Copies of this chain bind each other. A is one copy, B any other.
Amino acid sequence: MGITIKKIASELKLAVSTVSKALAGSHEISPETRQRVVEYARSVDYIPNAYASSLRKRTTGNIGVVLPEVADSFFSDAINGIESVARQKGYHVIIYLTHDDQQKEQAILNDFRSGRVDGVLMSVSLGDGSHTHIEEMAAQKPLVFFDRAWQDVTAARVLTDDVESGYNATHHLLEKGCRRIGFLSVHKNLNIIQQRLQGYKNALADHGRPVRDEDIIDCTHPDTNYDTLKTLLTNPNPPDGLVCSVESLTLLAYRVCHALNLAIPNAVRVVGFSNLGIAALLNPPLTTITQPAFAMGQAAATLLFNALERRTKADVPELKILPSVLHERASTQ
């Protein structure tokens, strides 16, 4: 359909290979010929076919980003970070959404085997499924986890200091006078949750408080979370502080408190992991642990490109840890 190298070649009375090399800026071609080709190509608005080129070169110039969700403010910031470094590497970023569905995640990774991308950045989807499809993928092409990662899969990863963040969140509540702090958890086999929980436990220990199992609430099932939380907060002796380990649970906690007419922070103080730009506009303004989403995206992409340029697997998977910050707002005052 469009204009091809072949047409340029015949028009300029050159060989196809000559045109190709000239456009690639090869030194095999004399400057005069090269310029003649380049100018002509531009004049006819030549656009190379991405598929032909990928087929022969055996590289796509694409990296895939596999995300659970995109409404989550963390991920949309992270995408920007990723794109910022991909662009200057001349790579395309293709975003795939799993909606936290491991089936979809698997289908996506499976599709990558058809060669659509050169490398993958991913934040894993929650669920109980096996991780073999991820391992297989990691064996085929470079993979970098960011934020959410599985521990049983060997791959580079970019994380935040989750133990410390969990610690800080809990410590903050304790300092504000909370007597009993609930930890809203999701899938416990997820690294970030484990670490945040560990931080929670460490903080309690440092304050001489016991860790009570019934204060660690499993909110793995979206359908029942609302009720779970509701019963928790209507208990005779409910927690007066909540650490919400992911953004969605933070918002859920707000919903339930609003529904129960539980005043935040008077009845219960809330601190949540969140990158919501509008945390300050919530009722009440939310104290957050905010992750450096943009920087994490950049770091992850950088690790990926290192791997792509190396073409050889690092002997020991790289790990980069970035700090989160606690923004104190009215929900804990």
Q: Enumerate chain A interface residues (CB-CB to B < 8 A).
A: 1-2, 47-52, 54-55, 58, 60, 69-71, 73, 76-77, 79-80, 83, 92, 94-95, 97, 99, 111, 113-116, 251, 254-255, 258, 277-278, 280-285
A258 touches B283 (CB 8 A): no
Complex Cα spacing A83 to B47, Å: 29
Q: Which of B54, B71, B281 contacts A282 (CB 8 A)?
A: B281
Complex Cα spacing A214 to B309, Å: 57
| 11 examples of A-B residue contacts, CB within 8 angstroms | A1-B58, A47-B114, A50-B114, A50-B115, A51-B51, A70-B70, A71-B76, A94-B95, A251-B277, A254-B281, A278-B278
B283 touches A116 (CB 8 A): no
A99 touches B113 (CB 8 A): no
**Which partner residue on chain B sits nearest A65 by CB separation?**
B95
Complex Cα spacing A48 to B114, Å: 6
Closest 9 CB pairs of A and B: A283-B283, A50-B114, A71-B76, A95-B95, A51-B55, A47-B113, A51-B54, A51-B51, A70-B76
Chain B residues, Cβ within 8 Å of A282: 278, 281-283
**Which partner residue on chain B sits nearest A285 by CB separation?**
B283
* A83 CB → nearest B CB, Å: 7
A50 touches B283 (CB 8 A): no
Chain B residues, Cβ within 8 Å of A280: 255, 258
* A24 CB → nearest B CB, Å: 15
Q: Which of B79, B254, B285 contacts A97 (CB 8 A)?
A: B79
**Which partner residue on chain B sits nearest A58 by CB separation?**
B1
Chain B residues, Cβ within 8 Å of A111: 92
Chain B residues, Cβ within 8 Å of A115: 2, 49-51
Q: A51-B60, A94-B94, A281-B282 are in contact. Are A2 and B76 (CB under 8 A)?
A: no
Complex Cα spacing A76 to B71, Å: 6
Chain B residues, Cβ within 8 Å of A1: 58
A116 touches B80 (CB 8 A): no
* A193 CB → nearest B CB, Å: 22
Chain B residues, Cβ within 8 Å of A258: 280-281
* A87 CB → nearest B CB, Å: 9
Complex Cα spacing A94 to B50, Å: 15
**Which partner residue on chain B sits nearest A284 by CB separation?**
B283
Given A71-B77, A80-B99, 18 extra CB contacts under 8 A: A2-B113, A47-B114, A49-B114, A49-B115, A50-B114, A50-B115, A51-B55, A52-B55, A55-B55, A70-B76, A71-B73, A71-B76, A80-B97, A94-B95, A95-B97, A251-B281, A254-B281, A282-B283
